[in-house]
Amino acid sequence: MNNPVIDTLVDNLTPTKPLENKSLYSFYVVVLGLSTLAVLATFGLRFDYQAAIETGSMFWKPAIFLFVSLGGLFAMSSLSRPQGQMPKLTFAFIGIGLAILGWQTINQYPDISLSHISQSFGMSSANACLVVTSVGGILLTLAFWKFWLKKAASSRPVLLGAVSGFTSANIAAAAYALHCNMDMVLYVVGFYGVVILAMTLLGAVLGKKVLNW
């Protein structure tokens, strides 16, 4: 017995290229590279980069966001499929990022003071940090949407949206951290953290709206 739905679907079949994780990973490398170039071309390296290389600040801050964004990337690739789950690699990479943050917290413990972060409010560099990571995060989320997310079929669209916002904000933060010379842990957690949290929430809201299928 003929089934009209099956007949229609079969008639409309065309060869389909499956989503490949390596395409997403390549795209990640490209957008990370372009974001870094954009930050360096617009703002340049932090003015105290020589001292920062010696103290390690040049590396640990971008590294936190880099590792965390890698965790987000693996989550995005897995959650984009109907049967996708949060992969262990995600927790591993986010764990590495948090471990670096913890290590810096211990290092800076004698000097940690809330006055440092309160003094940062209103500083042009702090405002630039908020604006660049926010705008960069939004642009990167749109780029991921165009390249990958619109083809996805996640059973957890809200989570996938949140993860894409989270990953994008972390890529933007990793790039901007090359210019940013504010190395206090409280500053990093406060200023970058607020943007990452906001982008995650924005991604979750967008995910609910646009990633349902």
Partner 1 sequence: MRTYNSNKWDEWMRATLNGDKNAYRLLLTELNGWLTAYYRKRVAEPHIEDLVQETMMALHAKMQTFDPEQAFGPWISAIAKYRMIDHFRKTGRHTHIELPDDLSAHQTDDAENAFHDVGIMLDQIPEEQAKVIRMMKLEELSVADVAEKTGHSPSSVKVMVHRGMKKMQKLAKKNKA
Binding region for partner 1 (CB under 8 A):
3, 5-6, 9-19, 80-83, 151-153, 155, 212-213
Shortest reach from residue 210's CB to partner 1, in Å: 15
Shortest reach from residue 83's CB to partner 1, in Å: 4
User: For the chain, first and last CA: distance in Å?
Assistant: 30
CA distance 89 to 75: 8
Nearer to partner 1, 17 or 88 (CB): 17
Tell me the Ramachandran region of residue 196: left when phi exceeds 0, alpha when psi lies from -120 to 50, beta otherwise: alpha
Nearer to partner 1, 81 or 116 (CB): 81
Nearer to partner 1, 160 or 171 (CB): 160
Nearer to partner 1, 2 or 115 (CB): 2
